[in-house]
Structure 1
Amino acid sequence: PWQTAGIAAMEVGPALFFSLLIIAVSFLPIFALSGQEGKLFAPLAFTKTFAIAAAAILAITLVPVLMAWFIRGKIPVERKNPLNRVLARLYRPVIHSVLQAPWLVVIGAMLVAATLVYPWQRLGTQLMPPLEEGTLLYMPVAQNPAISYGESAALLQLTDRIIKTFPEVKTVFGEAGRAQTATDQSPISMFDTVVTLKQPDHWPAHISMNKLRDQLNQALQIPGLSNNWTQPIKGRVDMLTTGLQTPLGLKITGQNLATLNLLGQKVQAVLLKVSGTQTAYAARVTGGRYIVVHTDRAAAARYGVSVADVNRLVETAIGGKVLTTAVEGVQRFPVDLRYPRDRRQSLSALMDSRVAAPNGAQIPLAQLARVDMVNGPAMLTSDDSQLNSWVTIDLKPGTSIGTYVARAKRMLAHQVHLPPGYTINWVGEYQSMHRANQRLQIVVPMVLLLIALLLYLNFRNVVEVAIVLVTLPFSLVGGLWLVYVLHYKLSVAVVVGFIALAGVAVEFGVVMLLYLDQALQRRRARDALQNWHDLQLAIIEGSMLRLRPLAMTFTLVVVGLLPIMLSEGTGADMMKRIAAPIIGGMLSATLLALLVIPALYALWQRRRLRSQ
């Protein structure tokens, strides 16, 4: 047994080692990703790489020893297994037909690979598929930045009531403005409404998440409000990474606020005409309203009142001043002193406010200062020492970000002319997609060269390396078509699935060529490789030996991934997009190993046979 195990290990060990090593190398592009996509998929890549590296080492060290220890007695012949007999009976006439016309098989494979153009042009692109959180975040923005607190509260209550009428909605909780924290920059014109949904089992029939969002958006077409829909976790991540409350937006940079405001309005008008836009809103960088108190120093001096006394009134009564802190257990609550809201928002009430003079007299503020209501910027935002204005874009469900941005760029280039010193940049998911694409365009060719080098070290033959690499696109056919049929977009998750599929397809090719080479060597050793007929018999022998392990691999991979495709829990959408290319591609990869590679191998060896 030790000698037999050693011979078997010498035959298949190097091929299996290099195959597993190539699978590990194929995951290198994932390590080049950064941002959200890098943090999400790096653990998967590390786990897969370490597992494959360990499997490659064990395949040539521990496994042969275990085989010699535990495989004893008479080993059953493969043809006695009923499943093997069925597979052989089905495959034998097929491989005979392939070898009768190998050129037709190769041409047919090329035509099938050419069909990739159709789904590729229609897939659409996105950074990552949405993770359904079971909750919606409705974030409308009032187009008037000088909206009052009362009007803001009325709009918030109105939207909450409309949302609650939908049977799919469990609870609604909305807020306007910002929390008492420096990390929240939301103005009073921006609302946050968390819409908690019931379980999908309790929804009316034929209602999906996208359709529900569509219906909610149609019901909330309120004049003066620009709607934005996202999810709580996703929305917070978007705001932390880009500053936008939507996955996609534009940043207009320049020096003059009035010009930025005008450009934002023009860009908004153009984007609303672009197919796929649900809402587009340009932030009103002007239009804010401010109360300015100008102290009349001469008038104040007549009453013995200082400018500091006037400022103290403004600071305390209008802005609010913390007098003390209430303690309740481990909690601390600041106690503020200031005028009620209706008094703070009335110019006449503010002008009637009293300032205490040194002699005890209460002097109206109107006699000490001039109180004006002036216009100004609603909120200043800057980046790289440049003022900027943001345009948020909410796309219709199912819209491809890559396709949408391409259309929008063309329309903006023709209809919006930028003054000197002003720029427009796309931010959000498109920016991350562009960054990921740039990195993959550099890393993927380098990885392919490394895979080619590993294949050459295994085969020591350029032609066999070329056979594996040239036929690799054919193995992706099934995966790409399944992704297209399922209406998935080309995202980082789908790319990860194709990377895993490519590794498995290369392994199929390497091991198939190993079996074919060994079959030829056995016939050559018996001096039974003299003509085309002998070559066909050798290829049939090698292909038949590879049939059972290939069928086992196919079954294990597909059956193992089917539960993912049937799952519906949180995170299932992401995992389905990784599994779909592998499941669909396993069929084309199997056909590649069983039909196309034997046909190419036969053509190559026939040419060598003729030249001898």
Structure 2
Amino acid sequence: SLAEIERIARDIEAVVSQLPGTRSAFADRVLGGKFLEITPDRGELARRNIDMGTFQTVVQSALGGMRLAQSVEGRERYDIILRYDRPFREDAGDLEGILVPTPTGAHIPLGDLAAITYAEGPPMIRSENARLTGWVFVDIAGRDMGSYVTEAREAVAAAVELPAGYAVTFSGQYEQLAEANARLAIAIPAAAALIFLLLMLHFGRLDRTLIIMASLPFGLIGGIWAVWLAGYNLSVAVAVGFIALGGIAAETAVIMLLYIDGEVRKAQPRTHADLFAAISRGAAMRVRPKLMTVFTLLVGLAPIFLTEGLGSDVMRRIALPMLGGMASTLILTLIVIPAIYYIRTGFQLSAGAETISDDAHPDLTEAKGDLT
């Protein structure tokens, strides 16, 4: 019933008002409207031999009005409605004097045929999925929506008793956030898988692809710090910014790896010192292009934080992870990628040296076997 829905809404309002981060909570008043009820006395209508249709027609024409005809003026149409003048229907006492005709030609006052009273009712009836609903409007501040709704759901479940057939659902922006998170749960792994696939198609080697993929978290650290320092919560816009940052980090890491690979192939190092020198030369060739890339992105994204207007908040949350991630991406490209490459290739170089050493002294190897 509407009364029970209003009780539950008021209880929820009292519970969520006590939660940290609640700026305001207001339960929509389901009841509280004033209505004029005209209840016919069927016994009196039967005694007077008045048909219910006649009774309803009189009430309709006197209060709501009855459409008699339509006036046409060019392309405009105006309904011609007949009803009692306002002084004759101003209050309940005036309505009691409305005359209802009988088959015999007599006219009976409406007050003798019906009870005219004021009653409380809902100012508006809302429903969703063919079920009556009541709304509690909540504004939050200083908290992310996800954790707030989780705590609110637990608090409502513990403090509000729901009769059979009643349920509480969180809607509004939280519902949109849940739908977006469900889509991101597919989009983010798909983006990572696509990056992995493209790297494999480009390099054709698993070790090079794993070097790039393992270094991506270092590129995202700057974006995480920037979002935390700005006080932004994780949202769809922030997630889009991180996806873009991941693409930039992967792109710069690939270019760095190509330059290092080229120098290593040209030098053909046989010792760790030669390998270190070749990697250093390849990394040094990327210093100026990387600084130009970072500077270009900073100059391009900075104006977003200086403008105000429609959509500026969303654009800032997209640009901030990219802006903050440039610093960590710079470190990733110039330090982390060369270091990982050196460790990986150094192991291969050491393994190759041991194999060559064993092949160069077969007699010594056989002697060791005999002694054993």
Answer whether TM exceeds 0.5 for this pair: yes
**Secondary structure of residue in 2 paired with 1:467:** helix
Q: Alignment partner for residue 394 of structure 1, among 101, 123, 139? A: 139
Q: 1:322 to 1:431 in 2, by over 3 A?
A: same
Amino acid at match of 2:299: V
Aligned to 1:587: 327
C-alpha distance in 2, partners of 1:319/1:597? Answer: 80
Correspondence list, 1:148-159, <5 A: none
C-alpha distance in 2, partners of 1:341/1:473? Answer: 75
Per the TM alignment, residue 312 of structure 1 is displaced from its structure 2 partner at its CA by: 1.6
Deviations, residues 526-559 of structure 1 (Å, cap 9, x unaligned): xxx1211111110111111122222222222221
Q: Alignment partner for residue 189 of structure 2, among 436, 440, 445? A: 445
Aligned to 2:94: 349
**Secondary structure of residue in 2 paired with 1:426:** coil
Amino acid at match of 2:198: L
C-alpha distance in 2, partners of 1:508/1:334? Answer: 72
Amino acid at match of 1:513: L
Q: 1:279 to 1:588 in 2, by over 3 A?
A: same
Correspondence list, 1:397-416, <5 A: 398-416=142-160
Per the TM alignment, residue 335 of structure 1 is displaced from its structure 2 partner at its CA by: 5.3
Instruction: Please state if 1:607 is matched with 2:347.
Output: yes
Per the TM alignment, residue 364 of structure 1 is displaced from its structure 2 partner at its CA by: 1.6
Aligned to 2:360: none
Per the TM alignment, residue 512 of structure 1 is displaced from its structure 2 partner at its CA by: 0.7
Correspondence list, 1:88-237, <5 A: none
C-alpha distance in 1, partners of 2:182/2:45? Answer: 65
Deviations, residues 455-494 of structure 1 (Å, cap 9, x unaligned): 1222222222222112212212222222333333322122
Deviations, residues 363-397 of structure 1 (Å, cap 9, x unaligned): 3211222223344444333333333322222334x
Q: Alignment partner for residue 553 of structure 1, among 293, 297, 309? A: 293
Deviations, residues 205-226 of structure 1 (Å, cap 9, x unaligned): xxxxxxxxxxxxxxxxxxxxxx
Aligned to 1:266: 11
Instruction: Please state if 1:491 is matched with 2:235.
Output: yes
**Secondary structure of residue in 2 paired with 1:292:** strand
C-alpha distance in 2, partners of 1:310/1:358? Answer: 12
Q: 1:320 to 1:279 in 2, by over 3 A?
A: farther
Correspondence list, 1:322-471, <5 A: 322-324=67-69, 332-334=77-79, 336-338=81-83, 346-357=91-102, 362-396=107-141, 398-471=142-215
Instruction: Please state if 1:572 is matched with 2:319.
Output: no
C-alpha distance in 1, partners of 2:157/2:46? Answer: 60
Aligned to 1:35: none
CA RMSD of aligned residues (A): 2.6
C-alpha distance in 1, partners of 2:225/2:319? Answer: 13
Aligned to 2:369: none
Q: Alignment partner for residue 249 of structure 2, among 476, 501, 505? A: 505
Deviations, residues 243-299 of structure 1 (Å, cap 9, x unaligned): xxxxxxxxxxxxx43332221121111112122223322233344443332333454
**Secondary structure of residue in 2 paired with 1:389:** coil
Amino acid at match of 1:419: P
Deviations, residues 227-255 of structure 1 (Å, cap 9, x unaligned): xxxxxxxxxxxxxxxxxxxxxxxxxxxxx
C-alpha distance in 2, partners of 1:490/1:340? Answer: 62
**Secondary structure of residue in 1 paired with 2:168:** strand
**Secondary structure of residue in 2 paired with 1:500:** helix
Unaligned 5+ runs, structure 1: 1-255
**Secondary structure of residue in 2 paired with 1:550:** helix
Q: Alignment partner for residue 475 of structure 1, among 200, 205, 219? A: 219
Q: 1:412 to 1:340 in 2, by over 3 A?
A: farther
Amino acid at match of 2:7: L
Aligned to 1:530: 270
Structure ID, larger Rg: 2
Aligned to 1:56: none
Amino acid at match of 2:153: K
Contact 2:45 / 2:113 at 8 angstroms: preserved in 1?
yes
Contact 2:126 / 2:132 at 8 angstroms: preserved in 1?
yes
Per the TM alignment, residue 605 of structure 1 is displaced from its structure 2 partner at its CA by: 1.4
**Secondary structure of residue in 1 paired with 2:270:** coil
Q: 1:380 to 1:570 in 2, by over 3 A?
A: closer
Contact 2:27 / 2:136 at 8 angstroms: preserved in 1?
yes
Q: 1:336 to 1:505 in 2, by over 3 A?
A: farther
Per the TM alignment, residue 326 of structure 1 is displaced from its structure 2 partner at its CA by: 5.7
Aligned to 1:306: 51
C-alpha distance in 1, partners of 2:332/2:159? Answer: 50
Contact 2:221 / 2:325 at 8 angstroms: preserved in 1?
yes
Contact 2:181 / 2:236 at 8 angstroms: preserved in 1?
no
C-alpha distance in 2, partners of 1:493/1:345? Answer: 57
Q: 1:310 to 1:280 in 2, by over 3 A?
A: same
Unaligned 5+ runs, structure 2: 353-372
Per the TM alignment, residue 597 of structure 1 is displaced from its structure 2 partner at its CA by: 0.9
Per the TM alignment, residue 445 of structure 1 is displaced from its structure 2 partner at its CA by: 2.1
C-alpha distance in 1, partners of 2:322/2:160? Answer: 44
C-alpha distance in 2, partners of 1:341/1:582? Answer: 67
Name the one with the larger helix percent. Answer: 2
Amino acid at match of 1:510: V
Q: 1:599 to 1:259 in 2, by over 3 A?
A: same
Contact 2:188 / 2:243 at 8 angstroms: preserved in 1?
no
Q: 1:326 to 1:567 in 2, by over 3 A?
A: farther
C-alpha distance in 2, partners of 1:484/1:325? Answer: 67
Q: 1:517 to 1:410 in 2, by over 3 A?
A: same
